[in-house]
Chain A
Amino acid sequence: MAKTVDRWFADKIDGPVRTRFAWLNDRVLTHLFVWPSMGLLLFVTVFPLIWSLYLSFTSYSVIRDPDWTRARWVGLENYAGLLGSVDLWTRFQVSAAFVVPAVALEFVLGFGIALLLNREFRGRSLLSTLILIPMMLPPVVVGLFWRFLLQGDIGIVNYFLRDVLGLAEVPWLTDRRAALASLVLVDVWQWTPFVTLIAMAGLSAVPRYLYEAAEVDRASTWFRFRHITLPLVLPLLIIAILFRLMDAYRLFELAWVLTGGGPGEATKVLPIHLYKVAFGDFRTGVASAMGYLMLVVIVALANLLIRAIRRLRGEGYAP
């Protein structure tokens, strides 16, 4: 069959067609496919990065300055102003107060659920699929329905607390501490399945014979977990943590819809602050500098975790 098809193509490109496209060799084709993609990539990712880096050293406002050539070069003034501003450090603290508990809980719960699902039982596939549903939902939708669920007086969560369990209702979205906890809760609800998914992939790759050997040696369950499961799954878990850290750190939609950054500034995480500076106040230069400061932090965090993975894999790293 394959020969017949080859023959058909050979017949088609015989003669004048073959001569006309003789220049279209593999090398030329490679360039034809690669460079448009590279050009597009440079235009939509690298160019904005370089451009915003330039703007971060200017006083540019995209709505007040008629064009970018009018932007005044201010050197490191934007960076100095931001680093000296109490407001920015407060926003970093709020982001950390959200990211650290959220990712820690997602890690513990996600890995725990993966361990439970890593055994044979009836309905395992169905349960695994159901557990993954939250992370497939758009954050705006998640924010909207959790906003209704957590509504103080008519929300179903407080209904259960108050009318079913006889407990005091919680001002989930209107108290400063409760609002941050609510944000963590919803993020954990949505993204624990992601850690579960990665952990399940790692667990399924652990060779069975290691457990069988441990069983022969009468190793305890804890020993098997501590010395077989955990070391082999840990590199993948660190990748999951890395993804979650980066994602939680730039959380915007969920916080915007669920709490809007309130009450007061209690849940005004860095991306909301950045959004208001960039698109509320339109201080484009300052917003660009803020974006770069955020980038530095996330690159540093990612670097730490990547080094940890390398160390675990025994590839060695030079401190």
Chain B
Amino acid sequence: MRTKAQNGVVALAVTAVLVAVACGTQSGRAKPDLSVIWFSWPPCEALGKLTARYQDANVKVTCIPIGQWHDQIFTDFAARGGSDFPILDSQWIGEAVTGGHLVELTEWMKQNIEVSDYVPAALAAYGEYPPGSGRYWGVPAMADVQILFYRKDVFQRLNLQPPKTWTELLAHARRIKQSGIVPYGFVWFWCGSAACYDQIQTAWNQIAWSFGGELWDPKTYRVEGVLNSPENLRGLEFARELFKTGPETGGNWTFSEVVDAMCTGQAAMTIIWIGFGPNLTDPSKCKEAGNFAFAVPPGEKRHFLSLGGMGLHVSAYTKNRDAALAFVKWFESRDTQIEWVKLGGYSARISVLNSEEFRKAAPYNAVFAEAYQKVKDFWNLPEYSSMLTIQGEQLNLAVTGQKDPKAALDLIAREQQRILDKAYPKGPPK
């Protein structure tokens, strides 16, 4: 037999449990779940740490292998689902916009983003489509450019200065390899297979541009006669010579092999996306971390660097559009961007790039600010993927000495022209 007091205690306990469950449910409702998808590299991990500080939603960051990055996001689009925030490479915006997979942010940005505080080129590259239209579909998530990491101890021993031209860089690399101080003068991500996405392409493009070449004519959509130009042929032959200063079997090297070679003292120079900086400068991850110095990659006749970085976009299939936009506003705020750069991210906000916090955040940030002035991008077309694949495969064969460079360039030009002619039979869209 229970007493009245016992019954009262039981009733109170039941009430307390019900209230707790109700509150839990309410707070769960008040805090929506959002998700970001990006590829696996240090900034993706950093973004996970940053979003954990966001109070108004539970934001999950998924980092997938780079080879599946594009395909995963667009397969999600095809299924009319996926993450709330796909982080897209700049060249995919056209593909995503024409399919109706992104939320247009043009009007929203005017009210919620300090547009005037951004590097104009970054706003355009990471969010605008069609190019020059003034219509925005994303905001900068991560600015990026490749910078030169070199072994200052090796340079000192051989009395070398950071190279100002590609020709100088090749001479340094040859000299270092001959000296035997380290096995390889220069290593790079020469991988060009379908699984390597755009690695050799973004490496070689900046050589081609600096040697005076172009990938295509964006006004006429001509590739033949532009890509297989004498300037680009010289650029490709040059890349072949540069490849020889690294391991002969380095034709399938990706970012991770390059970082490993630098960190284990196998190589004296590489040019790599600044997002990989923490892997090279953290002594707990990299044996040679203390021996690296940094410089802007060289030019030749001209000085262009591949544009890296990506935009943060809102998926058209998000179930929490208001919460998603609130998160974008928070992420793009100056305070959050300062936190972002402290964690290893890169901002496109001018006030952040000029801030003391940014300059102190990483030893190579001053170099980044200079290098980012020289960026150049390439095709922003829905046909991007197939054009990229053919370019990577042929460049790799030429660089590794398995195909005549001219034959490789001719084939790329022919195939890319075929793709464009088929997609735009009436010429470039007006």
A residues sitting closer than 8 Å to B (CB atoms) are 62-64, 66, 151-153, 158, 169, 171-176, 256-257, 259-265, 268, 272, 275-276, 279-282
Contacts and interface: CB of A to CB of B under 8 A. Distances in A.
A173 B252 contact: yes
B130 interface: no
Given A173-B249, A268-B194, 17 more contacts: A63-B99, A152-B248, A175-B402, A260-B67, A260-B195, A261-B194, A262-B194, A262-B196, A262-B252, A263-B400, A264-B393, A264-B397, A268-B193, A276-B194, A279-B74, A279-B75, A280-B385
A137 to B, nearest CB: 19
Given A175-B402, A176-B402, A264 B394 contact: yes
B408 to A, nearest CB: 9
B15 interface: no
B77 A174 contact: no
Contacts of B400: 174, 263
Contacts of B67: 256, 260
B305 interface: no
Contacts, number: 104
B161 interface: no
A263 B74 contact: no
Interface in B136-171: none
B194 A174 contact: no
Given A260-B67, A260-B194, A171 B74 contact: no
Q: Is the interface of A mostly helix, strand, loop or mixed?
A: loop
The 3 closest A-B pairs by CB, nearest first: A152-B249, A260-B195, A262-B193
Contacts of B196: 260, 262
B270 interface: no
A263 B98 contact: no
B247 A264 contact: no
Nearest to A179: B252
A66, A173, A175, A263 interface centre (most CB from chain B within 10 Å): A263
Contacts of A153: 247-250
18 contacts: A63-B78, A64-B99, A152-B249, A153-B250, A171-B248, A173-B252, A256-B195, A259-B252, A260-B193, A262-B191, A262-B194, A262-B396, A263-B192, A264-B393, A268-B393, A276-B194, A280-B385, A282-B74
Interface of B: 67, 70-71, 74-75, 77-78, 95, 98-101, 191-196, 247-252, 257, 382-383, 385-386, 389, 393-394, 396-397, 400, 402-403
A264 B194 CA distance: 9
Given A152-B248, A262-B393, A264-B402, A66 B100 contact: yes
A171 B243 CA distance: 15
Given A152-B250, A263-B397, A264-B393, A272 B98 contact: no
Contacts of B247: 152-153
B403 A264 contact: yes
Contacts of A171: 248-249, 251
A169, A257, A264 interface centre (most CB from chain B within 10 Å): A264
B382 to A, nearest CB: 7
A260 B252 CA distance: 9
B36 to A, nearest CB: 20
B192 A262 contact: yes
B195 A261 contact: yes
A13 to B, nearest CB: 39
Nearest to B72: A279
Contact of A63 (B74, B193, B248): B74
Nearest to A172: B249
A274 B353 CA distance: 44
A157 B75 CA distance: 38
A62 B396 contact: no
Nearest to B251: A174
Contacts of A259: 193, 252
A263 B77 contact: no
A280 B386 contact: yes
Nearest to A264: B397
Contacts of B74: 63, 279, 282
Contacts of A272: 194
B228 to A, nearest CB: 17
A175 B100 CA distance: 42
A151 B386 CA distance: 28
B78 A169 contact: no
A276 B68 CA distance: 11
Given A63-B95, A262-B252, A279 B71 contact: yes
B70, B248, B252, B385 interface centre (most CB from chain A within 10 Å): B252
Contacts of A279: 71, 74-75
